[in-house]
Chains A and B, each alone.
Chain A
């Protein structure tokens, strides 16, 4: 069964901490994405990667960075966590730009 695995299901961090969210896919997909999902705001794209070491900003990249050193792994970094980054973070991958996504199980991050 193909999978997108996110390293943590729940995470609590303090304001100002540097936070790493890890995502690994086993489908050899080129494209990987990071979204956050908030009630009333839906899914918002943070960053996207279409190849190793390649990245593109999404709609809300401020306060975030990403790393893709290997094809299967796409990391989201919160440089200095703030309370407004409390959210559900979803990683996804796809086999092409016109294909649907496979999502990971999500990381619910709380910043206190």
Chain B
């Protein structure tokens, strides 16, 4: 089992819709969770951090964390074509310094 799993996609949504990106992780003691956006040919950019169960909202983005289910998600409301990118889920596990990245989900927002 991979330590951080994401559906590779592509996930295709129409402009204005809600895009829902999901991630599961294996280390039950993980405390820190991140979402990065990576445009094609560019480096990842941190867009959300979440540390406790529940929802965290920042503009059109909402991160959701459920530690009991070992599940973290990212919702993008009013999706725009400029949101088309690969979204990486990252989890900081217990002990040490390691942050594990998922392989990413490709999102396409159709105009």
Q: B-contacting residues of A (Cβ < 8 Å)? A: 31, 40, 42-43, 45, 48, 50, 56, 58, 90, 97-106
Contact = CB atoms under 8 A, between A and B. Distances in A.
Q: Interface SS of chain A: helix, strand, loop or mixed?
A: loop
B44 A103 contact: yes
Contacts, number: 45
Given A42-B101, A43-B101, A48-B97, A100 B49 contact: yes
Contacts of A90: 43-44
Interface of B: 31-32, 34, 36, 42-46, 49, 51, 88, 90, 92, 97-99, 101-104
Given A31-B97, A45-B98, A100 B43 contact: no
Contacts of B102: 42
B32 A98 contact: yes
Most buried by B among A90, A99, A101: A101
Given A90-B43, A103-B44, A50 B97 contact: yes
Given A31-B97, A98-B31, A98-B32, A105 B46 contact: no
A45 B44 CA distance: 14
Q: Which 6 pairs from chain A and chain B are nearest by CB? A: A100-B46, A103-B43, A43-B101, A42-B103, A98-B32, A106-B43
